[in-house]
Structure 1
Amino acid sequence: MTGIRPNPRLSIGVPVYNGEKYLRVALDSLLAQTFEDFEIIISDNASTDKTQEICEEYAAKDNRIRYERQAINQGAAANYNRTFELARGELFKWAAHDDACLPTFLEKCVDALDKAGKDTVLAYTIATTIDADGEAIIPDPYANGDTLRPSSKFAAARVVHTLRYISLANATFGVIRSEHLKRTRLIGPFVASDYVLMIELAMLGRFSRLDERLLLRRKHSGGSRHESNPTLADVEKWFRGSSGGKTVLSPRLKLLLEYYRSVFVADVSTITKLACASVIIPAMTERKLRVATGKWRRQIMRPASPT
């Protein structure tokens, strides 16, 4: 662990709840990174399985790991945000407890940020989807979902690009400049709050997407994300926790209102806020039409069933 500083350059937040099945794989993949100047902050959301035992084991054998256990399940949003509250690094990354990173993930993302300069706020890689056993899913159901690359010098253009092309959470698991992440509302307790976070970051700067598959995203029925929460109400409860209230708005209307809220609370000029606000509905409408058109094309091009 040469080169580790008292205040590491990068902090990695690992929010977890009942993650005993895959947590070791996730932590091992982080500890095997070629870039070593990091700390790992685990926030255990009152797990009831062997998660605590695993976390304490890893924290005891590597002093880069810090472990905190919550007394009650506070919901995924609060648990994600807690890891950033405890972070010390100038760079930050969230890591899901059931995903994994290939050894050069951190090195490549940090290098991309260093080369891009301060106006680039986030670097991430495209991903491979794996199943419960860690095998790549072929064909990858999300192979074409990594198209998020807002690179314009204009904030409104970056917002348009993000609203048009965001479809996966891969960028959320990239490496982010902490100084910019502090200027956002982080992960909110509502459905698709990671989309809202991406809008807030896009207002602040560019994203760098690396065309290498260095992130392994696990799709499995026992996951803590959408795979194990089949309805929007279930997803909302996952974000909020059992003690959180329930919104009276539909998820889509709530998301639209949160986009506008993000624009008007953003730490940017008034002119930039107005420009970004003006593009939200047109961009969302265009996205909806594009998705509908894509579904229609796939239906008419589907081979006819034999009679």
Structure 2
Amino acid sequence: MTACEPRVSIGMPVYNGGELLREAADSLLAQEMGDLELIFSDNTSTDGTSELCREYARRDPRVRYYRNDANIGAFSNFERVVELARAPYFMWASHDDLWAPQFVSTCLAAMASPDVVLAYPKCLVIEPDGQPFRLIDHHQLTSTLGVCSPVQRLRRVLKAPDFWVLFYGLMRTDVLRQVLPISRVHANDSVLVALMSLLGQFADVPEVLFKFRQKANSVAIHKRADFLGEAEKKASRNFRSFWPATRSICSRSMGMPIAPVQKLGVCLSAFRWYLSRYTSRGRRRARQLLTYRKSHSVPVRQTVESDTGR
């Protein structure tokens, strides 16, 4: 790494980001650890995204803006920003999410050991208007510090609810590139996180430093009166839609530098995860979310303000 190269690359694939893009970019450029680059990859936006990104690139030398000649699709655009990254650490950023100023520095500190390939904080899921929706607080379940066996790390990660959110953690760029391309399947974020766990340890940060903005249609269905019935239907659909993801974990692990017996363990663990999709979990999850909104909305908001300083 030369003196002009950053320590952290942040890749933001974007298409018609709108005004939320400005708030997201501001929170990234306000990081306490300023040795970073922000890479915009514009997938031929038709709103004011291009002008806004160019404005940031003119104002801040840490910002690099690229516009694709044609819309290459979301998956390829996510891969594009990794290809453009120059730093040894990388993180994806969505145009509508938010990060506490200490997100990067805290995750970097958690990755002091070369065995750690990914670090992540607690995540607050927010509604489209920014109000707290639910807290993803299972960091101790997915931490694999000190776990040397790839299969044991995978099993631990797969058992955790909502482990897909680790997709937005801070990763070692060279390790991330080993698990690309992104699988073109449902739950591709979960597949990528699972594959990363086979190549190294995960470190958790016990602070709320990331706000993931839920899409409007997802929030609406959680608020419907017949949410329990919808959750049961979703669990049934998931049983079918998660099969390609399961196959992807198994097939992609075959080319990884792990022992043959470990590869068998990977497939067994992935199949167990697949079977867990079709259980009473959908109903339980629905009840948990409804209970959470009734009993934790105020405490969560207070916790986030305390942890992030926002």
TM-score (norm 1): 0.80
Q: Deviations over 1:219-274 (max 9, x none)?
A: 2328xxx779xxxxxxxxxxxxxxxxxxxxx5322112112112212233333222
Counterpart residue number, 1:266 = 256
TM-score (norm 2): 0.79
Residues 142-161 of structure 1 correspond to what in structure 2 (within 5 A)?
Answer: 142-144=135-137, 147-151=141-145, 152-161=147-156
Q: Does the aligned pair in 2 maintain the 1:93–1:175 contact within 8 Å?
A: yes
Matched, 1:75 2:54: no
Counterpart residue number, 1:130 = 126
More helix by share: 2
Question: How many residue pairs were aligned?
Answer: 270
Tell me, in whole angstroms, the C-alpha distance in 1 between the residues paired with 2:163 and 2:195: 16
Q: Alpha carbons of 1:189 and 1:280: their partners in 2 closer, same or farther (altered >3 Å)?
A: closer
Q: Does the aligned pair in 2 maintain the 1:78–1:189 contact within 8 Å?
A: no
Residue from 101, 109, 114 that aligns with 2:107: 109
CA-based RMSD of the aligned residues comes to 2.8
How far is the alpha carbon of 1:129 from its aligned partner? 2.0
Matched, 1:37 2:49: no
Q: Which deviates more, 143-152 or 159-168? A: 143-152
Q: Alpha carbons of 1:6 and 1:33: their partners in 2 closer, same or farther (altered >3 Å)?
A: same
Partner SS for 1:265: coil
Counterpart residue number, 1:232 = none
Partner SS for 1:6: coil
Q: Which amino acid aligns with 1:129?
A: V
How far is the alpha carbon of 1:183 from its aligned partner? 1.3
Tell me, in whole angstroms, the C-alpha distance in 1 between the residues paired with 2:259 and 2:27: 41
Partner SS for 1:89: coil
Q: Does the aligned pair in 1 maintain the 2:122–2:210 contact within 8 Å?
A: yes
Counterpart residue number, 2:247 = 257
Tell me, in whole angstroms, the C-alpha distance in 2 between the residues paired with 1:282 and 1:127: 26
Matched, 1:181 2:176: yes
Matched, 1:65 2:59: no
Q: Where does structure 1 lack aligned partners over 5 or more consecutive residues?
A: 229-249, 302-307
Q: Which deviates more, 198-207 or 283-292? A: 283-292
Q: Which amino acid aligns with 1:263?
A: S
Q: Which amino acid aligns with 1:126?
A: K
Partner SS for 2:246: helix
Tell me, in whole angstroms, the C-alpha distance in 2 between the residues paired with 1:150 and 1:271: 20
Counterpart residue number, 2:167 = 172
Q: Where does structure 2 lack aligned partners over 5 or more consecutive residues?
A: 221-239, 292-310
Q: Does the aligned pair in 1 maintain the 2:179–2:195 contact within 8 Å?
A: yes
